[in-house]
Structure 1
């Protein structure tokens, strides 16, 4: 029993030590920014098991059947092809079809299978199997070692994936494949082929190919950015209009307040600001003039309705900074309803804070927001 466990532990630590900081760990990091973690791990397990399984099955005879330098040259070429393939510009529908056709698991498994061909971890697995009484346990240990090192890479990948633009991730991922593929070819090709002219021609052709593939990616990104900005502007315009209507409905009217001067009334000031945004989305607003307190009695039902609409907008937008027009309108309505502003971090904590200030009003706002979310 101890011998069997020792075989697994020995294989695990050999592979773990060999793979820490290796290219396949970096590849798992890159894949984690594109695919789900469980699918990446399954792909790593399948690719590693096949690769190391072949090594263990053939043992020391592999080098006699196929020259190792040939295997490494093929692996280098495949890595370069993977790098170029990842730069292929595709629309979302095509990418979805490709995912359905090939699948992330098969993609990761193939990359790891090819990536480990002739690599030190495959050689390590091969060496361990030559003096092992339990070859299958060596396979278990090597695959576990790959999964743990890849898991570390995936953890890092998932942490940075949401903070780095998709295009940047795509370029870096491709660069990893191209770099290691080129390096492998340089290390394994016969010296007579590594002339200055051949290297120059190779790098020139590779650079031209990368340029041709990257150009539409950059163009598509710029196009999407323009489209996104237009959508944001359109959304802002619509929201400002709706909030303006809600604030107009909240206004007490000149028959009760006299002529609206704006700066002396928290609702009047907000109405003027919203009107400015409706007329010009780039209007500069001096929020320092916003009254800090409310001195009038507004219809609480209308206040709740306006606040609920405002919060529903805030929940569906990424920009929640304090000077955002939606957030500023929310603060105005909070001052009227609750006598203070409440910082919005997340939906749950926000409503808990509202209820802690005024349980009845907090529950009413929460309930109305839920109704708006359901389209009622």
Structure 2
């Protein structure tokens, strides 16, 4: 029982490291409490994998044991190759936005895992299991563990995790286990120098085809989805908080902090609200600048912050919540630079041209990093 539980946990943990569902857990953790996210993961995974284990147990009693081993070995080879597949940035969150936090996460994970390699892994593990219930416990535990790792570790080093290394580890482990199952399960007449050579050639060719886009992306310096998500979720608001603190002139210059009577103080409050509430409701009003005393802020620091904000905004413009939060901070930085807010409709070139009319130097500085 324990062996089957640990076996299932290990395989799901391997399969999910760096997968879109782990990234999804990181995304939800920026909006909901961690316990709500993990409870949602538990419910969604239990339902999804429960269906998989029932199906695997049912077909397991109808197929001879050696055939099941061959199917399982072939499936693991397939999972190995699938591990090299480049993940797309999928957003299951939008369709479940109106549900409560736990049900939103549960629905996203249930839907996101339908037909995915994790569900197929659960089926594969359960077809010849003596204790299917422990397979289910293992797969669900694996989902909880990998989601927890994604949330905790991703917040610290997510942008530094080498995508290729994670994929190669999963690839290698699945390939080894799959090859071992096939070698021990196939009839002797099918295991010879010719078939082994053909198998190796097939694996090399398909692996090379799948690895090529990953190497090209790495060569171009593009960030992986895992890295982008880690930066998106955990670093942007905290980085902006640090940036604004650096822009602030401090009580040594201003005396007691003027709070909302200062554009920097106003922005601090906005960022604090964004971090704590997951949304920014404060809006810059066009006539508010009259109550904000002009101060000798370091414009270079403000420009750097605006550049960072625009990069984030362009990467996530289609996400309404992120767009609204980022635009609120963008407007406050514009107010500090130009004493007015500017429009941005997703066209960075039009936006830079508008800034050029205000200040050509600022436009050139922003253009360097975009």
TM-score, scaled relative to structure 2: 0.48
Question: Highest Rg: 1 or 2?
Answer: 1
